Structure 1
Amino acid sequence: MTRRPRALPRRCTRWDPKDDQGSYALETAILAPVLIALLGLMIAFGRVTDAEGAVDAAAHAAARAASLERDAGSAQAKAQAAVDRSLTGEGITCRASQVAIDTSGYATAVGEAATVTATISCTAPLSDIALPGLPGAKTLSASWTSPIDTYRAR
């Protein structure tokens, strides 16, 4: 006589959609705040990255504008105007911006190599992104050095 294998008892029951009620609401309640926080972090990161690029471009424009002037007094004014134009053109709003121009290179004799350095500091607001733990503002700074025009006295 050959033995027949015994059938295993059936432990699985058929899936009933009524047993799954409320799971979608629970998943949404858990995942929605996480996704909103992730979106807020992406917006903040993008805003800081844009502001860093704008401050760097403003420092470059200020140093270049100051290096083309004939004397230190007009170099300061032209550099400040270049910073204002650059930051306004980029659409960056700074709460407080500081412009420091090192024009000590103008004291060198005409024909000698000299440089002018522009340092820009800007405080970009982040308080309108309502995310816990995110600082209200981030201070960004950039510095750029440009050679003074050798033939500026002509």
Structure 2
Amino acid sequence: MNNTAGNNRRCDDRGSYTLEAALCLAVLFPVLGWIAAYGLAGLGDGTASNAAAAAARAASIAADPDSAQSAGQQAASASLAQAQRTCRSSSISIDTSNFPAQAGDAGAVSVTVTCTVSMADLAIPGLPVSKTLRATRHSAVDRYVTRGGN
């Protein structure tokens, strides 16, 4: 092809699309990996938060600290079991130290759930292998539940 400037050089674009696609994919895959990592972290955070809230509510309507511990553990475990693929490992801590001794007394229960989310499957450079998320929820104890035979 001749152009008007008298230059007989041919313009050949072969291979440029392949190079552009390779460059775009080299940037696109890590970005998609980071988006997936943020999604996994958000899912793990929601799982821990929901489990802590369910456990705090279940513990707050119990009649005594021992049954509050048991009810909270069961509620958190059930909530975490529903999202079994989200948390690689988890722990549940229930604080009943402010549990009231008698009906009518004010009190509260505090539950902390820790959820470790694995990100190893994403295999993105610079991404941690796992992320530990923690959620704490508090619930006022029901004042009108009979306590310890009262």
TM-score (norm 2): 0.86
Q: Could you tell me which amino acid in structure 1 is paired with residue 52 of structure 2?
A: A
- DSSP 3-state at the match of 2:120: coil
In structure 1, what is the equivalent of residue 60 of structure 2?
A: 67
Is it true that 1:47 corresponds to 2:40 in the alignment? yes
CA shift for structure 1 position 43: 1.1
Taking only aligned residues, the RMSD between alpha carbons, in angstroms, comes to 2.1
| Pair 105,34 (structure 1): closer, same or farther in 2 beyond 3 Å | same
Is it true that 1:130 corresponds to 2:120 in the alignment? no
Choose 1 or 2 for highest CA Rg.
Answer: 1
What CA distance in whole angstroms lies between the structure 2 residues aligned with 1:68 and 1:115? 10
The superposition leaves residues 33-60 of structure 1 with CA deviations (integer Å, 9 ceiling, x where unpaired) of: 2111111111111111111111111110
What CA distance in whole angstroms lies between the structure 2 residues aligned with 1:55 and 1:15? 65
| Pair 13,83 (structure 1): closer, same or farther in 2 beyond 3 Å | farther
CA shift for structure 1 position 109: 3.5
| Pair 14,79 (structure 1): closer, same or farther in 2 beyond 3 Å | farther
- After TM superposition, list the pairs within 5 Å mapping 1:87-126 onto structure 2: 87-126=80-119
In structure 2, what is the equivalent of residue 11 of structure 1?
A: 5
In structure 2, what is the equivalent of residue 150 of structure 1?
A: 143
TM-score (norm 1): 0.84
How many residues in Structure 1 have an aligned counterpart in Structure 2? 144
Give unpaired runs (5+ residues) of structure 1.
1-9
Contact persistence 1:54–1:92 (CA under 8 A) = no
Contact persistence 2:40–2:86 (CA under 8 A) = no
Contact persistence 1:101–1:118 (CA under 8 A) = yes
What CA distance in whole angstroms lies between the structure 2 residues aligned with 1:55 and 1:93? 10
Give unpaired runs (5+ residues) of structure 2.
none
Contact persistence 2:43–2:86 (CA under 8 A) = no
Contact persistence 2:100–2:106 (CA under 8 A) = no
Percent of aligned pairs with the same amino acid: 42
